[in-house]
Structure 1
C-alpha cells in the first residue's frame, strides 16, 4: 500500500532502522517514571567551568535521559473518520537534571509526524511537552512546581478518582498512559508517620480532548470550563500489605458535556464544556489470601453544567457515585487475571425518551452519551488477562470493560515481543461496541489495529 510524501516520517523510520548499537541500555519511556537506574551522564567541572557557578556545584549536577524511537502502522485514526490507514513516526523522551541541594528538574515530551495514503501532503511534525517541573526536597516537605502528570487511583483500568490528569483520546498510541497531558500545578507534599499529605493547586485544569462525531446539520465545538482553577487535597497511606488514600478535589470535570445550544448560519451549534465538580474519593490495594485486592470509589457533585440560556433544551449533569473493586490472581507461571466489578448510580436521572420533543430527545441522548449517564444505574466489569513467555521476552494481554444493561464496552488485545534489550515489536487491536446512544457505542468507528517497532536508548 503506497504512502506518498512520507518526509520526516520516512527519515525517522530510516534512522530507527540504522540506529547503531549503543553501550547504554534503557527501558521504553512509556513504561518508566524517571528512575535513577537510567543512563547517567555526570557533568564534570573540567567540561563546565564557569565564573557564574562554583566548581563544587557544577560537579554535583547530573543528567538522566531516556528516549524511544517508534515507527507505527495504524489501520485508521481516532477521530471517528474514514481517513484509512496511516504511518506514524515519533520520538519520546524524558530527562532528569539533578542539581543536588538545589533540587531536580524533570521533563517529558514527544515529537511525531503522520503520513496517510489519502493525504497528498503530510501534516507538519508536531509535539507536546507533557511534563516540565522543578522538584525540591527539604526534610519531610517536598515542593513541585511546573507542568506535571498527576495520575490518581489504584484500580486497574477504570479510575473514578483520576480527576487531575486530562487525556487526549484522539492521540494514536498503544498505551493509555501516553495519552495523558500535564497541567501547570503547585504541589506541596508532607511525609509523616501517619502517611503522606499533599495539596495541589492548579491555575487552569483542562478537560479531556475527545473525538467528536460528525452529525449532518449539527456543529460540535469543544471549549474549556469558564472557571478552570482546581484545588485538591489527598492523604496516602502505605503499610505492610496495604496501600490506601482519601482525596477531595474541587475544579472542572475532566469530561465535557453539552453546555450551550445556539443557531448559526451553518446550522445548530452545540458547545461542549466541563461542569464544575466536587469529587470525594477513596482507594485501596491490599494483599490477602494470595490475591491482590483493589478498590476505588468516588462521589461527584456537579454545578454549572448547562448555561442559563440553554436550560430548557439541555439536561444538567447529575450527581453520581461510582465503585470499582475486584481481585487479581496468579494463575500459575507468569499468567495473571484481574477482574473488577463496576457500579455507577446517577441521582435524579431522567430518561431522554420521556421528553416530548424529538429534538430535545436527540440532544438529551447525546448529552447522556458524552457524560456516560445513559442509565440511572449501570453495572458491569473490567478484565485483564496477561501472560509472559520465552523468559519474559513475550507479553500477551487481553483486556476490556463491559457495561449492562446496554451491552456496551471496549476490548483490547496486544502482543509485545522484546527482540533484544533495546528493540521491541508490538501489535494490537481495539474494538468499541454498544448502541450509538451510549458513551462507548458512539466511538464504534474507532476500530483499529496497529503494528509498532520501538527502540529504546
Structure 2
C-alpha cells in the first residue's frame, strides 16, 4: 500500500497528459508540408551533431632531467644536483556552472632517492552571480610585476627546483587555498585564504649547501624547520586606468623560508605582514613597471636576536624588443632595513648580517629563431653591495609538437661566503632536460 501511495502523485499528471494526447493530436494534426518541414535539415543537424563533452582530454608529458656540480662541494654533498624521471597527467572539466582542473606529477628523484606524487593542481571553480568567481583546492597562485623578483608575491616558491635547472613552471609551488575573485566595473578584488600556511621548498642543505655563521662556512645538514600550523591570508585590489595596470597588495602570514633563529639556535619562521603596490604601463617601445612593498615582521622594536629586520623594498624594470626576436629586460631592486643599528646590535653574528641597503640588478636577454623553435636565454643577477652574482644561461629547442630539449647552467659566485648568492658558490651546476609530450 505504501508503494502505491508514493506512486499516486506521479500517476495523476501522467494520466492527465495521456488523456490530452488524442485531443492535441486531432487539433494539431500536421499537413504533409508540415511533416516535410519537421523532417528537414534541422532534424538532420540534430542527429548528425553531438554536444561536446565537458571533460577535457587527457594530456601531459614524460621528462628526464640530469644535473651535476661544476666543482666539489665544501660541505661534502655529492656532485649530482638533479636526477629526475617525471610523468605529468593533465585533465579537466568544463561544465556550464562548474569547472575542475587536474595537474599531477609522478616523479622519481635520484638525489633524495625516492618516489613522490606532486599535485600541481586539483581544484574546482564556480561562479556566484555575475561578478564573483570561486576557486577551491590545490592551485598555483601568483601576482606582482617582478621577473624572478617577488616583493608582494609571497605565495610558496620552490627554490630547489629553481637552482637545479627544472622548468620555470616549478619555481611557483602549489598551495591549498580558497580564492574569491570579484570583478567590478572600476576595480577587481582577489581574496585568498590558506587554511594552513605552506612554506617554500627552501634551501636546507639537502641538495645545495648553505652558509652557517656557527661554522662560518657551508653546511649540509638537511634540516627541516617546524612549519607554523596557522592560516595565511593574501589580498589584491587591481584595475586599469588608461593603458596603465595598477594593483595594491596585502599579505598576513609568515616568511616563506625560515629566516629567523629560535632560542635553541634552530632555523624558524617568523610572522610577516606585507603591504605593497605596483603599476605596469607602456613607455616608449616597451613596458615599464614599478613595485614597492613594506615587510613588517613580528619583532616590533628590532631588539630580538635572530629575527630579521623590517624591510622596505622598491623594484623598477623595463622590457622591450631590441630587434626582431631579441628582447631585453632590466630590473633594479632596492632593499632598506629599518632601525638598523638597534637591530644589528642585537644579532649574535653582526659581522655576517646584510648591509642596511642592498642593491640588486638583473638583466634578461631572450632570442628566438627557427620559427621560435630555438630559444637562447640569459638571465643574470648582480648585487654591487653584496658583491655576488648569479648567471642562468640556457638553450631550448622544440623539435616538433612532441619532443623538446633544454640545457643550461647555474653559475654562482661571490666575494663573501655569507651573502645570498655567495653562499651558493659550491653549488654551480650544469643541467639537461628531455621532454616528450603526449
TM-score by length of 1: 0.74
User: Which consecutive residues of structure 2, in runs of 5 or more, have no partner in the other structure?
Assistant: 1-49, 205-209
- Asked if 2 retains the 8 angstrom alpha-carbon contact of 1:259 and 1:305, the reply is no
1:449 to 413, 430, 433: 430
Which residue of structure 2 lines up, in the alignment, with residue 327 of structure 1?
Answer: 318
For residues 320-367 of structure 1, the C-alpha deviation after alignment (integer angstroms, 9 at most, x for no partner) is 1111112112111100111111111010124998689xxx32xx566x
Once the two structures are superposed, residues 254-277 of structure 1 have per-residue CA deviations (whole angstroms, 9 ceiling, x without a partner) of 132133143xxxxxxx32222111
Distance 1:286 1:439, change over 3 A: same
More helix by share: 2
Q: Is this contact kept in 2: 1:81–1:445, CA < 8 A? A: no
Cα gap change, 1:387 to 1:170, in 2 (>3 Å): closer
Structure 1 SS opposite 2:160: coil
State the match for 1:26 in structure 2.
none
Q: Tell me the distance in 1 between the aligned counterparts of 2:154 and 2:109.
A: 30
Distance in 1 of aligned mates of 2:421 and 2:343: 18
- Of 116, 134, 143, the residue aligned with 2:134 is 143
Query: Which residue is 2:295 aligned to?
Result: 300
SS of 2:157's partner is: coil
User: Which digits, 9 at most, give the CA deviation of each residue in 1:79-104, with x for residues without a partner?
Assistant: 97531236421112332222322x11
Cα 1:352/1:250, change in 2 over 3 Å: closer
1:272 to 267, 272, 293: 267
Q: 1:246 aligns with which of 248, 253, 265?
A: 248
CA distance in 2, matches of 1:75, 1:305: 43
Which position in structure 1 is the counterpart of 2:157?
166
Match of 2:391 among 407, 411, 422: 411
Write the distance in 2 (CA, Å) between the matches of 1:335 and 1:205. Answer: 40
* Secondary structure class of the residue paired with 1:154: coil
The reply to whether residue 287 of structure 1 matches residue 278 of structure 2 is no
CA distance in 1 between partners of 2:351 and 2:175 (Å): 31
Cα RMSD (Å): 3.0
Bigger CA radius of gyration: 2
Distance, in Å, in 1 between the alignment partners of 2:262 and 2:427 is: 27
Whether the 8 Å CA contact 1:110–1:127 is kept in 2: the answer is yes
The residue aligned with 2:192 is: 200
Shift of 1:230: 1.1
Moved more, 208-217 or 385-394: 208-217
Once the two structures are TM-superposed, the CA of residue 128 in structure 1 deviates from its matched residue by 1.1
- Please point out which of 211, 215, 218 is paired with 2:203: 211
Relative distance call for 1:302 and 1:144 in structure 2 (3 A) is same
| Structure 1 unaligned blocks of 5 or more | 1-55, 117-121, 263-269, 369-373
Give the distance between the partners of 1:393 and 1:74, measured in 2 at CA: 23
Distance change >3 Å, CA 245–CA 433, structure 1 → 2: same
Q: Does the CA-based 8 Å contact 1:236-1:246 persist in structure 2?
A: yes
Distance 1:416 1:177 in 2: 15
Contact 1:197 1:235 (8 Å CA) reproduced: yes
TM alignment of 1:358-373, pairs within 5 A? 360-361=348-349, 364=350, 368=353
Question: Residue 183 of structure 1 contacts residue 204 of structure 1 at CA under 8 Å; is this kept in 2?
Answer: no
Partner of 2:106: 111
- Give the superposition deviation at 1:142: 0.5
Correspondence list, 1:391-410, <5 A = 391-410=371-390
1:431-451 deviation digits (Å, cap 9, x = unpaired): 122221112211222211111
Report the secondary structure of 2:173's partner residue: coil
Counterpart-to-counterpart distance in 2, 1:345 and 1:422: 47
Q: Specify the alignment match of 1:47 in structure 2.
A: none
CA contact (8 A) 2:318 2:330 kept: yes
Q: Is the 8 A contact 2:132 2:180 kept in 1?
A: yes
C-alpha change, 1:83 and 1:352, in structure 2 (3 Å) is farther
- For 1:351 and 1:436, locate their aligned partners in 2 and report how far apart those are by CA, in whole Å: 24
Verify: 1:72 aligned to 2:57, yes or no: no
Aligned match of 1:53: none
Contact 2:89 2:103 in 1 (8 A): yes
Alpha carbons 1:68, 1:92 under 8 Å: kept: yes
- Conservation of the 8 A alpha-carbon contact between 2:134 and 2:181: yes
CA deviations over 1:226-284 (Å, ceiling 9, x no partner): 4531122211214553222111111112132133143xxxxxxx322221111111122
Map of 2:116 onto structure 1: 126
Q: Residues 115 and 299 from structure 1, CA distance in 2 versus in 1: closer, same or farther, beyond 3 angstroms?
A: closer
Report the CA distance shift for 1:89/1:227 in structure 2 as closer, same or farther (over 3 A): closer
